[in-house]
Amino acid sequence: MQTLRASKCGLSTSQLPSSILDVIDSLTKAGYEAYIVGGGVRDLMLGLNPKDFDAVTNATPSQVKEVFGRRCRIIGRRFELAHVYSGRELIEVATFRAPPKKAVTSAQGMILRDNNWGTIEQDFARRDFSINAMYYQPRKGIVLDFCHAVDDIKSKTLRLLGDPALRFEEDPVRMLRTLRFAAKLNFNIDPAILDVFTPEMTQLLRDVSPHRLYDESQKLFTMGHLHRIMPMLIEFGVWRQLFADIPQKITKFIELAAKNTDQRIQIGKTINPAFFYAVLLWETFLERVDFYTSKGVVPTEARAQAGLDVLKRQATRTIIPRFAETFVREVWEMQSRLLNPKPQQIEALSGHARFRAGFDFMLLREKSGDTSSNGMGSWWEAYQNMTTDEKERAISAYNRQRAKGRRKAQDEVAPDSKVSNQIEPLVKETESRTRRSRRTQTQRVENSKVMMTSTNDAMTISPDHPILKRKRVKRDLNQVVFGPTQ
């Protein structure tokens, strides 16, 4: 172990927010050791702006709770941690960890339960990469470096601590972390890692909980280098573990969406990571819609069911939270609304909560050469920049064109075309968990008749499934809840 002068590593307390200093100082004052560790130290040394700062201490979570009282909450099962609120910020405070005493591991060697407190040396050995395992004590102005991590920072090398194969088996998420840090920091991956990072090894990701994989996928989508990491995910076989049914290649649409996401992050704009899920699963969704329509299901119903099917299958890999699921389905449904809007609804549609995302999505489709949106993406783009008079003229012109098209295809006219100028919700609210659990057995049996097997081609739907019997219903507009959905 070498003790380095923080100033020699380019570190100074002036770079640190008061929240992390407050946590370090309070723990030190209470007689405990406390350090900043992980990405915060690494990023500062690399001249990057750290996302956050994590603290580590020899105080156990309950001792941390004693120090901070109501400002502290203990969280986690596999990893018990303290969350300390300092001002408006939240600092994660971990306790030095020892190797698990009794190995609580899965059949594949994955660590399942892990709360043995230990020394700083033991804590170090359990961290993933050398560059993530430097301990910075800002008040003493020192950095503890147990493995010449500083050299790896200088040579831009991503090196796992210990035997790479063992470290991947212990926690397969480290494979994702390898690619994420290599892409984010533009580091070279140590050849010892490359040797074991095989497609067989990536199979271990199947044992990771879909919740954890969702969290990790979010980090991949939002790190600002999505465009750089996607080819790596494919090359290393991680892509197919994360996304069950999507093509194993980067389409123009996906590539543009990734670039667009990175650009938004670089200029500090917010992004909704569910948007990228909508992009990734779009083709699969369209195939599934075709499947239902070819069975005679009416288009609205086909889209609704296809959306549910595709997201349900994806959830076997990465769970998709309810809000994200609704968002994705709304963005997809918006594609039909924007393609063929009823003229009376155009203005209301442009103020819909999901308009912006739906419109961005359509524009990206067009930019990637998709002509099936009939140029409506550009139409909406122009529409948004018009004055009220220009908008009226644009709607009349659109209406005339639409009428012409409608005369040509009379049979496509919906029987309920007496339209209101308000719009229906894009997707039906999914049932609440309690209501769902109270669902009758009959419903469950009916639903189970829609079967999805492992390949798209083999997806079957029984001829007496209610979806095939459902006719387009005439809606009583008084009964429909209008307005934007959240």
The residues of the shown chain that bind Mg ion, judged by CB under 5 A, are 39
User: Which CB atom, from 220 or from 246, has the smaller least distance to ligand ATP?
Assistant: 220
CB of 78 to ligand ATP, least distance (A): 11
Site for ligand ATP in 170-209 (CB under 6 A): 171, 173-174
| Closest among 170, 59, 160, 162 to 114, alpha carbons compared | 170
CB of 174 to ligand ATP, least distance (A): 5
Catalytic residue among 43, 128, 171, 309: 128
User: Cα separation of 44 and 196, whole Å?
Assistant: 30
- Binding residue (CB under 6 A) for ligand ATP from 114, 123, 128, 245: 128
Give the tokens for residue 339.
């393609």
Q: What is the dihedral of CA 363, 369, 372, 376, to 10 degrees?
A: 30
User: Which CB atom, from 49 or from 442, has the smaller least distance to ligand ATP?
Assistant: 49
- Binding residue (CB under 6 A) for ligand ATP from 5, 8, 51, 393: 51
Catalytic residue among 43, 54, 152, 262: 54
- CB-facing half-sphere around the CA of 424: CA atoms within 13 A: 18
Residue nearest to ligand ATP (CB): 39
User: Cα separation of 24 and 29, whole Å?
Assistant: 9
Count, in order, helices (H) and strands (E) of the chain: 24, 12
* Contact status: 54 vs ligand ATP (CB under 6 A): yes
Give the tokens for residue 17.
């927010």
User: Which CB atom, from 174 or from 288, has the smaller least distance to ligand ATP?
Assistant: 174
CB of 92 to Mg ion, least distance (A): 8
Catalytic residue among 22, 25, 52, 370: 52
- Mark residue 247 as left, alpha or beta (left: phi above 0; alpha: psi -120 to 50; beta: remaining): beta
CB of 377 to ligand ATP, least distance (A): 34
User: Which CB atom, from 64 or from 426, has the smaller least distance to ligand ATP?
Assistant: 64
User: Which CB atom, from 84 or from 133, has the smaller least distance to ligand ATP?
Assistant: 133
User: Which CB atom, from 123 or from 424, has the smaller least distance to ligand ATP?
Assistant: 123
Q: Are 258 and 230 in contact (CB under 8 A)?
A: yes
User: Cα separation of 473 and 464, whole Å?
Assistant: 19
Q: Are 217 and 318 in contact (CB under 8 A)?
A: yes
Part of the chain binding ligand ATP (CB under 6 A), chosen from 169-177, 372-380, 388-396, 408-416:
169-177
CB of 54 to ligand ATP, least distance (A): 5
User: Which CB atom, from 39 or from 237, has the smaller least distance to Mg ion?
Assistant: 39
- CB-facing half-sphere around the CA of 52: CA atoms within 13 A: 9
User: Cα separation of 319 and 218, whole Å?
Assistant: 11
> How far, CA to CA in Å, does 463 sit from each of 54, 292, 293?
56, 12, 13
* Contact status: 259 vs ligand ATP (CB under 6 A): no
CB of 43 to ligand ATP, least distance (A): 6
Instruction: Point out which residues pair with 145 in neighbouring strands.
Output: 2, 134
153's CB contacts (< 8 A; 6+ apart) are: 42, 45, 46, 131
CB of 130 to ligand ATP, least distance (A): 10
CB of 177 to Mg ion, least distance (A): 11
Which residue type sits at 353?
A
User: Considering CB distances under 5 to 8 angstroms, the limit depending on partner class, which of ligand ATP, Mg ion, none binds residue 173?
Assistant: ligand ATP
Binding mask 20-49 for ligand ATP (x = CB under 6 A): ------------------xx----------
* Contact status: 127 vs ligand ATP (CB under 6 A): yes
Active site residue 22: no
Residue nearest to Mg ion (CB): 39
Q: Are 39 and 51 in contact (CB under 8 A)?
A: yes
Helix (H) or strand (E) holding 373: none
User: Which CB atom, from 132 or from 326, has the smaller least distance to ligand ATP?
Assistant: 132
Site for ligand ATP in 295-324 (CB under 6 A): none
> How far, CA to CA in Å, does 292 sit from each of 172, 314, 428, 464?
37, 18, 18, 14
201's CB contacts (< 8 A; 6+ apart) are: 165, 168, 172, 175
User: Cα separation of 325 and 329, whole Å?
Assistant: 6
User: Considering CB distances under 5 to 8 angstroms, the limit depending on partner class, which of Mg ion, ligand ATP, none binds residue 65?
Assistant: none
User: Cα separation of 264 and 257, whole Å?
Assistant: 10
Active site residue 309: no
Active site residue 411: no
Give the tokens for residue 5.
């002068």
Part of the chain binding ligand ATP (CB under 6 A), chosen from 64-72, 113-121, 126-134, 468-476:
126-134
* Contact status: 123 vs ligand ATP (CB under 6 A): no
User: Considering CB distances under 5 to 8 angstroms, the limit depending on partner class, which of ligand ATP, Mg ion, none binds residue 133?
Assistant: ligand ATP
Q: Where do contacts with ligand ATP occur on this chain (CB under 6 A)?
A: 38-39, 51, 54, 127-128, 132-133, 171, 173-174
Tell me the catalytic residues.
Answer: 52, 54, 128
